[in-house]
Amino acid sequence: GIQVEQSPPDLILQEGANSTLRCNFSDSVNNLQWFHQNPWGQLINLFYIPSGTKQNGRLSATTVATERYSLLYISSSQTTDSGVYFCAVVGGTSYGKLTFGQGTILTVHP
């Protein structure tokens, strides 16, 4: 099946700093989503982005499908950004099944 690798595994920032999270995938995808899992365990949709670039406030994402990677940018980080960020993909023949990466644990200190 499709493999999803995220980097870095851990990231520690001071409030106000910017960061880039990366997601590499091993095959073509029909769907790519970024999620934030908050400290209460809730999985929050950030982006649905199988290709192209999207922005939502301080967050933006870019997926280059031909090169099999996606980037999540967080600008002016806040303590509420802390949590785990997951990238998940639906492979070309997976009919909607999301395969998750292992996540990036982000900690933002005040």
Partner 1 sequence: DARVTQTPRDKVTEMGQEVTMRCQPILGHNTVFWYRQTMMQGLELLAYFRNRAPLDDSGMPKDRFSAEMPDATLATLKIQPSEPRDSAVYFCASGTRSDTQYFGPGTRLTVL
> Which residues are at the interface with partner 1 (CB under 8 A)?
30-31, 33, 35, 41-43, 45, 48, 86, 88, 90, 95-100, 102-103
Integer Rg of the chain from CA: 13
Of 77 and 99, which has the nearer Cβ to partner 1?
Answer: 99
Neighbours of 95 (CB within 10 A): 8
The residues, any chain, with a CB within 8 Å of residue 90's CB and separated by 6 or more, are: 29, 30, 31, 32, 96, 97, 98, 99
Q: Minimum distance between the CB of residue 20 and partner 1, rounded to whole angstroms?
A: 22
Q: Minimum distance between the CB of residue 89 and partner 1, rounded to whole angstroms?
A: 11
Q: Minimum distance between the CB of residue 46 and partner 1, rounded to whole angstroms?
A: 10
Of 17 and 65, which has the nearer Cβ to partner 1?
Answer: 65
Pairing outcome for strands 19-25 and 4-7: antiparallel
Phi/psi-derived region of residue 71, left when phi > 0, alpha when psi is between -120 and 50, beta in every other case: beta
Q: Minimum distance between the CB of residue 12 and partner 1, rounded to whole angstroms?
A: 20
Of 20 and 42, which has the nearer Cβ to partner 1?
Answer: 42
Of 17 and 24, which has the nearer Cβ to partner 1?
Answer: 24
Element (H, E) at 36: strand 29-37
